[in-house]
Amino acid sequence: MNDIDLANPELFLNRELSLLEFNARVLDLAKDDSIPLLERLRFLCISSTNLDEFFEVRVAGLKQQVQLGVNTPGPDGLSATEQLTRVSARAHELVADQYRTLNDILIPALEVQGVRFLRRTHWNEVQANWVREFFTQELLPVLSPLGLDPAHPFPRILNKSLNFIVTLEGKDAFGRESRMAVVQAPRSLPRVIRVPREIARGDYDFVFLSSILHAHVGELFQGMKVTGCYQFRLTRNSDLFVREEEIDDLLMALEGELPQRNYGEAVRLEVADNCPDSTADFLLRQFKLAAGDLFQVNGLVNLNRLLAVHDLVERPDLRFPAFTPSLPASLPTGADVFQSVRHNDLLLHHPYQSFMPVVEFLRQAARDPDVLAIKQTLYRTGLRSQLVDILIEAAQEGKEVTVVVELRARFDEEANIQLANRLQDAGAHVVYGVVGYKTHAKLAMVVRREKGKIVRYVHLGTGNYHAGTARAYTDFGLLTADKTIGEDVHKVFQQLTGLGKVSKLKKLLQAPFTLHSGMLERIERETEHARAGKPARIMARMNSLIEPRIIQALYRASQAGVKVDLVVRGVCSLRPGVPGVSDNIQVRSVMGRFLEHSRVFYFENSGDNELFLSSADWMPRNFFRRVEVAFPITEENLRKRVIQESLVAYLTDNTQAWVLQKDGGYKRIRPPANQKPRSAQNDLLAQLTGLPG
């Protein structure tokens, strides 16, 4: 057993292919007829949006490696070139499956429910006249067709925008003969347009903007013959590049870089499947792309725009049932948060339990004359954040407000720049963390004077301070007045806002200093316990698992006989079920109504178990390139709650769980006939909100 090389590339699954498998599981939800129909459409859109980001970031990164000649293989032994080849093949399969799901399953099912997408060939005369009027009044005035000739080179194409390549015959008014033109769809108009009830067959008939333009594209080229009109969409590298060590002002540098995101290097071209090969090849040449970067699709090239239908169709019977998040019994509406937390730690499990106690915690702090200071990290919070408004109010009330805003939160940079400016204008101290390290920890601290002494109240979370995602993501939050945790959080804020040596923390584990070593030590401790015949078990839940040394430590634990149960929502590079290596490791992914986002780490420790919640996944970036914390749950009742609600419930789910196979594929669990169906999310909804399961 000791002769097995745990660094063998065959023991590691590829990160990019694993991420594509995650998107395949999201797409599986779109096919699941036990899920309400509009929600299935939403899952299809999510799978499309996820794939967009995959190309914008992950594929773009691989292409850059190839261009720079960086072909060093990862832990799985695959070079960037080899990864691109495999990723392209799997992505093409996934895209084909998306369109089969839309065309063969969802569109027919929606039509049965009275939600129809009207094709041009099916418009009656009245509808065709309405479309013509819409084109003339709404679309034509904002279109700028761009003929391609020596005086009109190929235009710059915006990232993920809807465009049309038009083929032509004849000459225009100036005698110019151009065989091609580009029409860019205006971003100001919706892509899915509801047909007025008086001319529709039902309440929810829709036409696509692309269909309207196709029907009347000839009117843009008077006197010429349109021989073809084909949708296309370009995906570009959207990673921002800022050399932080060489700039004086990160905010100004990011503001200058943001407009370039829309015009990064091309990485993918999507075209309608009826587009001739010669035209598709022409487009590929314009964007310097290869044949493997072309995706020919049977339908809209921007599937994620169908999400508008989910919002426009007012059919509660086609959605997940509404629910009201509950409040903890110890903190009813209007209660004094400080008094409640002073007596007992308060655990919140979102979205089943309300995010309002967190909002109320900060609101009461802002208005409390005994509160001296508020400190908070903000990673993603949204443009119209109630919490930001409260922090501004606190600053205006004369509190010492310090906010660590992570300007580099991907795709939230612009929103975070705006809120940073608002906070500074109100008199808050705004800092951007530490150069080279994203501040990903979710921390809020209130400093209060009580009977002449300073008391710290702290909120720590696994998810963002964002009321919207708190309704859609599963996350834990802890409100505590624990003195030692308060001192630890105070030291973390000192690191983020000032300078100096790393202070030793007593209860928190912190990246990039002690989180990685702390996790490794605890895994190895379980290994030693198993070898000594003592009780040993590891249960962990996270979004991603790819850090090689952690994976190798888990392999050693498995070899020693430690039972390892992992719930990994997305990417997992660990290969389970390898004889003599990972026989004792099970990896499952649970998917459903809510996005699984909690990070929970349990170590049995020979009966003296430890439980941590964290903002960090087990990834190199979280361990070494971010500021993260893991915090212990020490109160016995709360610890039992977390174990049951976040681990046991998910390990016994037999309806919304997929088990990772040795070959990297996933197999969905189905309950046998003699077993009661169990869904962790539905059970928690019933338990914590009263919604029938």
R_g (Cα) of the chain, nearest Å: 27
Q: Please check if 473 is assigned to a binding site.
A: yes
Q: What is the largest CA-CA distance in the chain?
A: 90
Q: Residue 119, annotated ligand binder?
A: no
Q: H/E/C letters for each residue in 81-119?
A: HHHHHHHHHHHHHHHHHHHHHHHHHHHHHHHHCCEEECC
Tell me the one-letter amino acid at 477. G
- Measured at the CA of 281, the angle between CA 277 and CA 282, to 5 degrees, comes to 120
Residue 569 is assigned to a ligand binding site:
yes
Separation CA 409–CA 255 (nearest Å): 13
Closest residue by Cα to residue 30 from 45, 51, 49:
45
Supply the residues annotated as catalytic.
440
50 is in an annotated binding site: yes
Q: How far apart are CA 32 and CA 303, in angstroms?
A: 19
Token pair 């392209």 is at which residue? 88
Neighbours of 435 (CB within 10 A): 9
Q: Rounded distance, CA 573 to CA 12, Å?
A: 5
Query: Which among 216, 213, 215, 218 has a CA at the least distance from the CA of 232?
Result: 213
Distances (CA, A) of 168 to 212, 285, 523, 661: 19, 19, 66, 52
| DSSP-H helix ranges across 116-208 | 125-134
| DSSP state string for 583-617 | TTEEEEEE-SSSEE--EEEEE-GGGS-EEEEES--
The token pair that represents 548 in the structure block: 């090689």
Residue partners of 128: CB distance under 8 A and separation at least 6: 215
Is the CB of residue 73 less than 8 Å from the CB of residue 55? no
Name residue, tokens 């049977």. Answer: 298
The torsion region of residue 222 among left (phi > 0), alpha (psi -120 to 50) and beta comes to beta
- Quick one: how far is CA 403 from the chain centroid? 24
Burial string for 543-564 (b: 16+ CB within 10 Å, else e) reads: bbbbbbbbbbbbbbbbbbebbb
Q: Which amino acid is at 114?
A: G
Please say whether the beta carbons of 631 and 611 come within 8 A: no
> In the numeric block, which tokens belong to residue 112?
């049965």
94 Cα distance to chain centroid: 18
Q: How far apart are CA 691 and CA 669, in angstroms?
A: 24
In SS3 terms, 285-317 reads as HHCCCCHHHEEEECCCCCHHHHHHHHHHCCCHH
Distance, first Cα to last Cα, the chain = 46
Task: Kindly report the backbone phi and psi dihedral angles of residue 226, in degrees, each rounded to the nearest multiple of 5, phi listed first.
Answer: -85, 120
Binding-site residue set for Mg(2+): 380, 410
Binding-site residue set: 50, 380, 410, 473, 569, 597
Binding-site residue set for ATP: 50, 473, 569, 597
